Amino acid sequence: MFLLLGRYLKPVDEVEVHLEAHRGWVRANAEAGRIIAAGREEPLRGGVLVATGVTRDQVDEMIAADPYVTEGVAEYDVREYHVVLAAPGAEALQA
């Protein structure tokens, strides 16, 4: 499992110009089963994505295609975890 911790590099109003394209990217990766959760940070300085069933190389390829990254308004800190326990209903975290 990977946590992708997004951090905005530009003011929020500049980031939000690319919000719909970013959401499309998130949706496409969620529909493909690569992203299982996504959310905005409060207060708004970035966001978090949870990715499973992918390799680090695949995560890097995903990130490189994110409109936030291609437009230079955000970057990601990627952290990999080996989940050893998942609550009932959250078994996908162990993929």
Ordered by start, the domain boundaries in the chain are 2-82
CA-CA distance, 70 to 52, in Å (whole number)? 23
Give CA–CA dist 55/89, Å, rounded: 23
Residue 30 pLDDT: 97
Which pLDDT score is estimated for 24?
98
**pLDDT value of residue 82:** 92
pLDDT tens-digit series, residues 52-78: 999 999 999 999 999 999 999 999 999
Q: Provide the Cα torsion 27, 75, 52, 61; round to 10°.
A: 80
> pTM of the full predicted structure?
0.90
Assign domain 2-82 to its CATH architecture: 2-Layer Sandwich (3.30)
Q: How many CB atoms lie within 10 A of CB 32?
A: 11
